[in-house]
Amino acid sequence: MSMLEKIGLNLLNCFDPERAHSLSIQALKLGLAPLHGGAVSRSCLKTSMGGIALANPVGLAAGYDKNAQALGPMSKAGFGFLEVGAATPRPQVGNPKPRLFRLREDYAVINQFGFNNIGIDAIVRRLAGTPTPIPRGLNLGANKDSPDSADDFGHVLTKAAPHIDFATVNVSSPNTEKLRDLQGKAALEDLLSRVNEANSKLAEPIPIFLKIAPDLTDTEIQDIADLAVAAGLAAIVCTNTTLDRDGLTSSNRIQKGGLSGQPLFEKSTRVLAKMRIATHGRIDLVGVGGIGSAADAYAKIQAGACAVQLYSAMVYQGLSLVPKIAIGIDQLLTKDGFDQLGQAIGLTTESWL
């Protein structure tokens, strides 16, 4: 981390977390943030995620750039791919503030946002006006007051599809009431059927991903795996934030909402490994949750992920973490005698069960 980045992070940490988040987006738009210059590219880092070719497996997780404001700068930060959103059909203010909390002692974050965004029409205008040299996807959400949440996902997909490379059905945020109910077997089967129907009507259908919660039973994991395979999903994102507070020490542990960051690492990786077994490796998996180093990312890959995503760790380590992780994965692959990332996928799956 450069001295300039350290100073910038220290300044941001002087502000309320949500204000700091907004300021970081503005810094990116103004060219004030340190950027790698493009996707980190190494021959053995090349991978495929849901049929999409990636220069490296490190992606930006949904939630940071909710409104697709920083697509240009973030495509130069070293990432192999980006995911923006979540987007809902209509603009939504989200839950009351304060709704973002740092847990410094735990190297974690709790958010209660509730799908705050400017709405899909405005987001699509930004997507259409900002081509990127790396693949990008959109996290699909539903309005809190929607009479038909399942219909919202198809609506957002239809609007955005011409401008994105993949779409992620988000039924796992803990901050929208009853949203996680859509992970239930019957509800999820209906939802995926309707999303697939909307996708099939597009001039060019795109890969559909599903983002799941870490707070699932083994039976629920198997049900989701079976439904995902039957629906022909391109990938499953493991996982969203957790409601678990075990082992936390920060005073902010009492806050409601989804916990992300280091404490989520083991729980999310275990769900990832279980999903690898449950799907028999027939669907690509994206590992998310608690990644703060190349070793963490490599562990997700060995547990069964073909790609990974970051967000919370950047709050504490800055954007320089992105190329550091990508280059570190390359070094770990070389150390283990691999010349392709695919050779490492799933090597330690069984050890997480």
How does pLDDT run across 330-348, given as a tens digit for each residue?
999 999 999 999 999 999 9
pLDDT of 168: 98
Query: 3-352: which CATH number, 3.90.280.10, 3.40.50.720, 1.20.120.80, 3.20.20.70?
Result: 3.20.20.70
pLDDT of 288: 98
| CA dist., res. 173 & res. 158, Å (int) | 21
CA 32 to chain centre: 24
pLDDT of 203: 97
Write the DSSP symbol of residue 7. Answer: H
The pLDDT of residue 242 is above 90? yes
Average pLDDT, the chain: 96
* pLDDT tens digits, one per residue of 294-305: 999 999 999 999
Mean pLDDT for the stretch of residues 100-123: 97
Mean pLDDT for the stretch of residues 91-100: 97
Mean pLDDT for the stretch of residues 154-167: 98
Residue 208, token pair as written in the block: 């559909």
The pLDDT of residue 176 is above 80? no
Active-site pick, 24, 146, 172, 173: 173
Confidence grade of residue 92 (pLDDT, cut at 50, 70, 90): very high
pLDDT of 210: 98
pLDDT of 58: 98
Mean pLDDT for the stretch of residues 32-53: 95
The answer to whether 2 is a known catalytic residue is no
Confidence grade of residue 172 (pLDDT, cut at 50, 70, 90): confident
pLDDT of 183: 77
CA 149 to chain centre: 21
**Whether the model pTM is above 0.95:** yes
Cβ distance 194 to 158 under 8 Å?
Answer: no
